Amino acid sequence: MGHSNASGDLSSEMEVDAFRRLFPLRFYEHHLAESIRPDGRALGKARDTTIELGAVASADGSALAKIGLTTMLAAIKMEVMTPSKESPDEGCIAIDFHMPPICSPLVRPGRPAEAEPVVSKQLADTILRHVKHFYGHSLLLDYFFKVLYSGMIDLKDLSLVSGKAAWMVYLDIYCLDADGSLFDAALLSAIAAFSHLQIPVVSMNDDGKLIVVSEENGEKDIVNKEKRKLSLNRIPFSLTCVLHKNYILADPTAEEETIFETLVTVVLDTFDQLVYLYKPGGLVLAFTSSVQDCIALTRQRLKELQKILDESVSGMEVD
């Protein structure tokens, strides 16, 4: 904190906290000049990130993800549906992002937060993207497009009985504590919940309805014996940066998000392909070079996140 006092103007006569509140931009610029942020991070560095799998026992898959203080709880519930006529052997995924009033002083009951629909849409775009139109030309082409363009989850994996029954996957993500970079934390928790997901074993009963059976009973008519896990290909990871003058700050806190109004969110997948790029207006026009810098930072962050996710998954398996 010392160097903010050193610059000689008003700040030398004022307490640091008061200065921070009154002149937040100047306060930050003093820091940026020294290439450090008030919480001690380097500009391109993200906050400490943790993942805890299986936080909710009543869900089929769940995870708690924390990036700094931002906390997200994601849980998946599986229900059975009748697939549509157009795609008889595909399931469906519904993603909802919630900001309950507990997570931030800005959210009041009955008045949904502005970020809620935005993040919901971003998550759906990132996780659900898939191309149907390319199927059916040739096997080779099919394979080609599947590898290159398919989303994280193949909806065909969710089929149970073609034309009769398929999984409807409800993914609900709750923000428990909001301190910036909400989308990054939400996406991370969603992916972690998917990797924790255990699909229940079901069998058809006399009424043609599917019910959960325990594996040990050795029942015969189990519909989905092999499909207990979803295969996740091309997992997307994201990083949000704020831009200010020539500076790029990775993984902003809520305070940083309000002071610097230009945000860039980059999503890359594990095949190093750009999945999603989001820059909603803002004061600073992003130069191509700064967008490329953001992508480079995301590439580094992807490796970090992948390691954290792998560790939490293998930690589960040991238990």
Q: How far is the CB of 238 from another protein (least distance, A)?
A: 22
Cβ distance 11 to 2 under 8 Å? no
Indicate the residue among 26 and 98 with the shorter CB distance to another protein: 98
Q: How far is the CB of 183 from another protein (least distance, A)?
A: 17
112 sits in the region (left: phi over 0; alpha: psi -120 to 50; else beta) called: beta
Q: How far is the CB of 254 from another protein (least distance, A)?
A: 8
The encoded tokens of residue 136 equal 């059916």
Give dist(CA 144, CA 140) in Å, integer: 6
Q: How far is the CB of 72 from another protein (least distance, A)?
A: 12
Q: How far is the CB of 29 from another protein (least distance, A)?
A: 25
Give dist(CA 303, CA 268) in Å, integer: 11
Indicate the residue among 29 and 89 with the shorter CB distance to another protein: 89
Indicate the residue among 43 and 176 with the shorter CB distance to another protein: 176
Q: How far is the CB of 178 from another protein (least distance, A)?
A: 6
Indicate the residue among 227 and 299 with the shorter CB distance to another protein: 227
Indicate the residue among 29 and 255 with the shorter CB distance to another protein: 255
Give dist(CA 68, CA 48) in Å, integer: 5
Give dist(CA 145, CA 253) in Å, integer: 38
Give dist(CA 10, CA 202) in Å, integer: 69
Q: How far is the CB of 242 from another protein (least distance, A)?
A: 19
Indicate the residue among 109 and 218 with the shorter CB distance to another protein: 109
Indicate the residue among 59 and 188 with the shorter CB distance to another protein: 59
Residues in the site for another protein, rule: CB under 8 A?
55-59, 62, 69, 71, 73, 75-82, 96, 98, 100-105, 108-109, 168, 170, 172, 174, 176-179, 200, 202, 209-212, 254
Indicate the residue among 108 and 228 with the shorter CB distance to another protein: 108
